[in-house]
């Protein structure tokens, strides 16, 4: 379905309000025509002249006589003019009140559309496969949600309101013009097709440049978001100048795109100005030469003045109507990008027949295989069992597939081969929400929101009381440093928790997991990249967290998993060894080599010291 039609479907809830806006628009445009008609008798009373209004017909004169005579009948020209002025003022005020009401209604509709569409895009993003976020830059997503969605409201104002308003204005004005002089009206309209045709020639190029500009804008936004997030890296390697130069080049490309787009868009104003100038000259010249119009005498001065005013009023709406495709091109280019996101298949939706997850006995990985898209296999027929209350550790060199395997348990991805069973039920037959309600994940890359410490600990447990949050913090060895923060639990931690140290962030994450009190834990190198003191505090918190819980632990530091009930050794996505630390150590193989690499030098040093 075309983007425009899809947007109109989203407008459906506002059709009543939109209809009211169109009605007020119509009435305002109608009053605009009435004000023009009232100018004729006013000018006639002011000039005290008579002239022919329309060749071969007196419809306008008859209409004005019927409407105006009861109002000004029996009055002197000065009194009649004064009363007509009052009518004109009232008409202008009423017309502008209706125009204001129409504008406010339109704003309400278009901003409602933007809110609904923005919310819909954000909600849909939460259902997409994690691989989509790895392929798509954060800046592009921000641009789509903020900038591109905001551009789509032009479709509503351009297609449903502005277009309707200007069509009504043109129709009413043409009726007034034809009633003054049909021949002069036809002569005037001869100039319209060339103007419209010329404007249309600009549209194709404008549409192409509008799409390119939208893409370039998204890339600029993406660069800003990415580089700001990597500011420490940039400064560490002294790349400030290079990054500034790279962004300046990108900003310059965007500038050129905007200039090219505006080059065609701005041509519409000069064209209409030239058209208006020719129109004024034509009306004055033809209106004073009755033989050109087939009249017996020239048009009256008041008729020429009103005709000229009405004809010039056609310029703006004709310009808007002519530029309608260009406006739509820009808006639809943004809409296409928005719907590209909405058309991404949802992976996080529960399917009919999926049940609630319960955990009583064990988790079984049965010949599990996985690959990303059409890439090479990341996991190949991995099998092991994680009984309730036990700890299974995943070890192996980088790239062995440990994190990918752990991501399959909460169904961040589903296996492409084999299956994972929870108490004998395949995970694909369980709802993601109920499954994840049984788990907490603590990883090396701790994610904290730009919110208070309290809110970050209580995240995922919205009903938690202050006492419960404080108890979780105490158990996670976090209460001490939290008490020293400027506002305690109400201290805002900054984006991604940047106001806290790495160890402090980890302990807040562990407190969050403790507060949730899940039966299953996934620990992904939770003590990596910490100093000795922080590691000791975090390890104590993890030990507390793991009590009487089922845990799947990913570790590079083998000392942290020596007490695991079973260690599964992965290499190139396959299980190459399984057993306890003592069994694997005695058996040699990959586990022994990894262990020796980490501990041989340390043990040799200790032995020499003894």
How many Cβ atoms sit within 10 Å of the Cβ of residue 373? 8
Task: Give the DSSP H or E segment for 177.
Answer: helix 163-180
- Give the pLDDT of residue 158: 61
Average pLDDT over residues 53-72: 56
- Give the pLDDT of residue 237: 67
258 pLDDT band (50/70/90 cuts)? Answer: confident
602 pLDDT band (50/70/90 cuts)? Answer: low
**Three-state secondary structure call for residue 196:** helix
pTM comes to 0.68
**Three-state secondary structure call for residue 280:** helix
pLDDT tens digits, one per residue of 267-287: 766 776 777 777 777 777 777
What percent of the chain is modeled with pLDDT above 90?
8
Average pLDDT over residues 217-236: 74
194, burial (CB in 10 Å: exposed 0-12, middle 13-18, buried 19+): exposed
How far does CA 210 lie from the centroid of its chain?
A: 18
- Give the pLDDT of residue 608: 42
Give the single-character DSSP code of 519: S
530 pLDDT band (50/70/90 cuts)? Answer: low
CA neighbor of 382 nearest in space, from 371, 373, 391: 371
CA neighbor of 598 nearest in space, from 437, 413, 447, 395: 395
Please give the full DSSP string across 327-366, using - where no structure is assigned.
HHHHHHHHHHHHHHHHTSPPSSPPPTT-B----SSEEEEE
518/410 Cα distance (integer angstroms): 13
* CATH for 3-342, options being 3.40.605.10, 3.40.50.2300, 3.30.365.10, 1.20.1560.10: 1.20.1560.10
Task: Report whether pLDDT(296) > 70.
Answer: no
Length in residues, the chain: 610
pLDDT tens digits, one per residue of 71-103: 766 667 677 777 777 888 888 899 889 988 988
Task: Give the DSSP H or E segment for 554.
Answer: strand 550-554
What residues pair up with 574 in beta bridges, in sequence order? 571
- Give the pLDDT of residue 420: 93
CB 7 within 8 A of CB 156: yes
Task: Report whether pLDDT(452) > 80.
Answer: yes
CB 367 within 8 A of CB 542: no
């Amino acid at each position: 379905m075309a983007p425009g039609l899809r947007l109109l479907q989203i407008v459906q809830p506002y059709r009543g309000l939109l209809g009211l806006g169109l009605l007020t628009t119509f009435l305002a445009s109608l009053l605009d025509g009435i004000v023009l008609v009232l100018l004729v008798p006013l000018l006639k009373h002011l000039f005290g002249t008579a002239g022919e209004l329309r060749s071969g017909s007196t419809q306008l004169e008859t209409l004005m006589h019927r409407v105006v005579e009861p109002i000004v009948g029996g009055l002197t020209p000065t009194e009649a003019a004064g009363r007509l002025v009052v009518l004109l003022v009232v008409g202008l005020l009423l017309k502008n009140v209706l125009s204001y009401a129409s504008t406010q209604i339109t704003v309400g509709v278009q901003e409602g559309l933007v809110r609904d569409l923005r919310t819909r895009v954000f909600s849909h993003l939460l259902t997409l496969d994690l691989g989509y976020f790895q392929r798509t830059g954060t800046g592009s997503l921000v641009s789509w949600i903020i900038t591109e969605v905001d551009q789509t409201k032009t479709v509503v104002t351009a297609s449903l309101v502005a277009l309707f308003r200007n069509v009504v204005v043109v129709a009413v004005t043409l009726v007034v013009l034809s009633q003054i002089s049909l021949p002069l009206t036809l002569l005037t309209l001869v100039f319209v097709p060339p103007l419209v045709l010329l404007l249309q020639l600009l549209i194709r190029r404008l549409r192409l440049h509008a799409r390119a500009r939208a893409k370039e804008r998204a890339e600029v936004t993406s660069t800003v978001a990415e580089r700001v997030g990597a500011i420490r890296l940039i400064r560490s390697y002294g790349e400030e100048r290079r990054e500034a130069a790279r962004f300046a080049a990108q900003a310059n490309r965007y500038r050129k795109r905007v200039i090219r787009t505006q080059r065609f868009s701005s041509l519409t104003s000069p064209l209409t100005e030239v058209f208006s100038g020719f129109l004024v000259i034509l009306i004055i010249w033809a209106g004073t030469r009755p033989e050109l119009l087939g009249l017996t005498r020239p048009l009256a001065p008041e008729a020429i003045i009103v005709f000229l005013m009405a004809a010039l009023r056609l310029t703006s709406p004709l310009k808007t109507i002519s530029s309608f495709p260009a406006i739509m091109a820009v808006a639809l280019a943004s809409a296409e990008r928005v719907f590209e996101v909405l058309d991404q298949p949802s992976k996080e939706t529960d399917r009919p027949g999926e049940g609630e997850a319960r955990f009583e006995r064990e988790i079984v990985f049965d010949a599990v295989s996985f690959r990303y898209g059409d890439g090479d296999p990341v996991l190949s027929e991995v099998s092991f069992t994680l009984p309730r209350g036990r700890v299974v550790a995943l070890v192996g060199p980088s790239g062995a597939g440990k994190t990918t395997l752990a991501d399959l348990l909460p169904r961040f991805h589903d296996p492409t081969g084999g299956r994972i069973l929870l108490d004998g039920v395949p995970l694909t037959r369980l709802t993601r929400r109920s499954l994840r309600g049984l788990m907490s994940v603590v990883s090396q890359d701790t994610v904290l929101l730009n919110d208070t410490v309290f809110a970050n600990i209580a995240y995922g447990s919205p009903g938690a009381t202050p006492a419960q949050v404080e108890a979780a913090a105490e158990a996670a060895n976090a209460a001490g440093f939290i008490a020293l923060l400027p506002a305690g639990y109400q201290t805002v931690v900054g984006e991604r928790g940047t106001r806290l140290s790495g160890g402090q962030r980890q302990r807040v994450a562990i407190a969050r997991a403790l507060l949730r009190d899940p039966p299953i834990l996934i620990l992904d190198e939770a003590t990596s990249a910490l100093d000795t003191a922080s590691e000791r505090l975090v390890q104590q918190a993890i030990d507390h967290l793991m009590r009487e819980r089922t845990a799947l632990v990913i570790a590079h530091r083998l000392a942290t998993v020596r007490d695991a009930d079973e260690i599964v050794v992965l290499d190139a996505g396959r299980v190459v060894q399984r057993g306890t630390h003592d069994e694997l150590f005695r058996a040699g193989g990959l586990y022994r080599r990894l262990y020796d690499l980490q501990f041989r030098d340390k043990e040799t040093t200790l032995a020499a010291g003894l």
